[in-house]
Structure 1
Amino acid sequence: MATRNKYITAGGHRHRYIETGTASETMLLLHGISSSLDFYEQVIPELSKSFRVLAVDFLGFGLSEKPANKKYSLELYADLINEFLEKTDSHGPSLYATGHSMGGKYLLASALLYPQTYSKLVLSNTDGFLHIPFWARGISLPGVKQVLKNVATSEKMSEKMFAAAFYQPDQVNRDSYLKNLMVARNPEAFDTVMSLNRNLKQLDMNRTGLRGRLKELNIPVLVIWGDKDQYISPKTARSVHTELPCAKLEIFSDCGHSPMLEYPEKFSKTVREFIFSKTNYPGNQCS
């Protein structure tokens, strides 16, 4: 991806982002866990033909700052997204956003805590609809954490875990695959994942009450899911589609957890057509 990295301060921390395209419509791209904005690199060139594209590394990931012992929460990430949008002069009636996996959950939090921000949303294989047992916090205890860190960031295990994000990993652009694999192996980003684990209650859509507020989202939402997703079951897509009052569901065949890397042309086309469509979906109450 030839677009030059930029840096901006939000919440007192340095964030990497990229900006490309000159259209009046803005598309914000938010990545998933153990990832970075580079996860979108195969779709950014195509999307930038229709949008001013902004993609940002979340706090704790990619090339953004990774503060130790940060108290992460859905509210924190929503605040950071809002500050980022303000500082990049992106607020307005033509602002759209796409969130993948963890980024989808943070995008929903952003849309609920800062209503009227977005005109349409795209959620790709989104997190936020799974029950996370409270005991899961235990994996972030010091002794357990170090063992897991050694395993998860090892070359063999990290590649195995990363490959599981795709139905056919050998079909993914090799340069993108290797670049994003190295991001997934970053030990500092693993520390962020452990910090997220320690703050499960503040990052859970159910426990924070945000899932119960999804009916407030009266803007069109496109839900994209791979039918072979091994990380978050395609069954979850039905829940997402049902709980959002104005949603359209697109299932990608023979696709895993990462449609923007597995089917970049189809992903870009599907997103673009949804954003510029005037359709109100049957049975839903779109604004």
Structure 2
Amino acid sequence: MEFTVKEEKGFNYIEEGEGEVLLLLHGLMGALSNWEEVINEFKGRYRVIIPLLPIYDMPLLNTGVKGLANYVNKFVKFKKLNNVVLLGNSLGGHVALVYTVHHQENVKALLLTGSSGLYENSFGGSFPKRESYDFIKEKVEFTFYDPAIATKELVDDVFKTVNDRSKVIKILAMAKSAIRHNMAKDLNKIKIPVALIWGKDDKITPPEVAEEFNELLPNSELSWIDKCGHAPMMERPEEFNLLTNQFLEKIKNK
């Protein structure tokens, strides 16, 4: 990825373009590169910012969804951002929801794709065969409708991560926190516009999760992408960007 990661005051992030802020939050096993096609599409018209969430660097006691939402709050204050459009995938969507519940005055709109917060079918809370490359490959492929999206580079990266003992402890703590922190009772507090862009074949946060989000969020709209799994912005970037653009145009003057 050709984007420069900036380091300032303990924050690592990508920032491209100028204009209204799109703040992008990656998932638990995700990376900044997951949003590459989104950055390329919108950096000519928006100020696209992606903080690297410190999943592996937080103290164990603070390793959870709330801890990450607090980190996002510090980052937003540091960058003096307001009226942002917040986009989150998987755990990043969950963090976006928690942040918005507590700081709705800073958020113009939300876009969630494959978000946790209600239910997720993750690695199952453990890595019983984490030494097995084939097992990890199978799990990474499970993320997508088309297993070919799980490139060797992507599988290698996850395999390396889950075989790092200190990282796997943080991953399990974060996954358990996400399961515990169910958002169902808080979603009615989010009054801003919310776009739900979901893979029709998402096996991690299945279609019924999107439908429940749509029922519980007062001002939401749900769009489907066919033949697509848990990370639409990676697997179907053109369709994802088209739907994202339609939503951004709709809320432009609100």
Is the TM value for this pair above 0.5?
yes
Per the TM alignment, residue 131 of structure 1 is displaced from its structure 2 partner at its CA by 7.9
Alignment-derived partner of residue 282 in structure 1: none
Per the TM alignment, residue 51 of structure 1 is displaced from its structure 2 partner at its CA by 1.2
Letter in 2 for 1:196: M
Distance 1:247 1:125 in 2: 15
3-state SS, counterpart of residue 27 of structure 1: strand
Percent identity, aligned pairs only, is 23
Distance 1:111 1:153 in 2: 38
Alignment-derived partner of residue 235 in structure 1: 208
The 1:254–1:221 alpha-carbon spacing in structure 2 relative to 1, beyond 3 Å, is same
Q: Is residue 81 from structure 1 mapped to residue 54 from structure 2 by the alignment?
A: no
What RMSD over aligned residues (CA atoms) do the two structures have, in Å?
Answer: 2.5
Distance 1:178 1:28 in 2: 29
Distance 1:18 1:60 in 2: 17
Per the TM alignment, residue 220 of structure 1 is displaced from its structure 2 partner at its CA by 0.4
1:162 to 140, 149, 158: 140
Distance 1:40 1:278 in 2: 21
The 1:112–1:67 alpha-carbon spacing in structure 2 relative to 1, beyond 3 Å, is closer
Per the TM alignment, residue 7 of structure 1 is displaced from its structure 2 partner at its CA by 2.0
Alignment-derived partner of residue 128 in structure 1: 117
Distance 1:28 1:154 in 2: 36
Distance 2:86 2:38 in 1: 14
Instruction: Name the larger-Rg structure.
Output: 1
Letter in 1 for 2:69: A
The 1:154–1:7 alpha-carbon spacing in structure 2 relative to 1, beyond 3 Å, is farther
2:187 to 214, 224, 233: 214
Alignment-derived partner of residue 236 in structure 2: 263
Deviates more, 1:105-114 or 1:71-80: 71-80
For residues 1-40 of structure 1, what are the structure 2 equivalents within 5 Å?
A: 1-9=1-9, 14-22=10-18, 24-40=19-35
**Which consecutive aligned stretches of 4+ in structure 1 deviate over 6 angstroms post-superposition?**
none
Alignment-derived partner of residue 46 in structure 1: 41
3-state SS, counterpart of residue 162 of structure 1: helix
Q: Is residue 204 from structure 1 mapped to residue 199 from structure 2 by the alignment?
A: no
CA contact (8 A) 1:123 1:222 kept: yes
| Unpaired segments ≥5 residues, structure 1 | 140-147, 280-286
The 1:216–1:45 alpha-carbon spacing in structure 2 relative to 1, beyond 3 Å, is same
> Could you state the TM-score of these two structures normalised by the residue count of structure 1?
0.78
Letter in 1 for 2:62: K
1:114 to 82, 103, 110: 103
Letter in 1 for 2:12: R
The 1:235–1:77 alpha-carbon spacing in structure 2 relative to 1, beyond 3 Å, is same
Alignment-derived partner of residue 72 in structure 1: 63
The 1:117–1:204 alpha-carbon spacing in structure 2 relative to 1, beyond 3 Å, is farther
The 1:213–1:157 alpha-carbon spacing in structure 2 relative to 1, beyond 3 Å, is same
3-state SS, counterpart of residue 49 of structure 2: strand
Letter in 2 for 1:232: T
Distance 2:4 2:132 in 1: 30
> Could you state the TM-score of these two structures normalised by the residue count of structure 2?
0.87
